[in-house]
Amino acid sequence: MALNILKLCVGCDSVEDLEAWVAHKLDERRRNGEPVEHWHTTRMVPSRGAEIIGDGSLYWVIKGSVQCRQRITDIRPFTDNEGIGRCRIVLAPEIVRTRWQPRRPFQGWRYLKAEDAPADLGDGAALAEMPPKLRQELAELGLL
């Protein structure tokens, strides 16, 4: 059973914001002749990386609710220019919308067991087309 990571998506107000940011970063890397891959940099390296890579996902908390996920394809520790150890969590560029699951703010990231992770929306096209503000209001009422 896959182990996942839960992380706050700081700076994004909606899944659409995250999708636009990922597309921008991939285009930027393509223009610069760099490998076209997407990653999120953290300070701590997951000690349970073998349980995560391949089947695990990074679940994004946006505006107080888990709303989507990205599959984790690799975990790459490195040392930055200032000599500080960091980690790149390499993510599949596809963003999968999930059922909304309320979460309180926290720092860093947390492990998320598969049985505790929200289900994918699957054929949730109607929900995906709903304006983000309306989705947020419905989630706050516990209706999503």
Q: What are the tens digits of pLDDT across the range 15-40?
A: 999 999 999 999 999 999 999 999 99
With vertex at residue 69, the alpha carbon angle to CA 120 and CA 102, rounded to the nearest 5 degrees, is 75
Query: pTM here?
Result: 0.85
Burial 39-61 (b: 16+ CB within 10 A, else e): bbebeeebeebeebbeebbbbbb
User: If pLDDT is split at 50, 70 and 90, which confidence band does 139 have?
Assistant: low
Q: What is the phi/psi pair of residue 80, to 5°? A: -80, 180
Name the 3-class secondary structure at 59. Answer: strand
> Looking at the 3D structure of the chain, how many domains does it have?
1
Contact 94, 100 (CB under 8 A): no
CA distance 74 to 135: 31
pLDDT per position as a tens digit, 55-84: 999 999 998 999 999 999 999 999 999 999
Domain hosting 48: range is: 3-140
CA distance 124 to 116: 20
Q: Which helix (H) or strand (E) holds 127?
A: helix 125-129
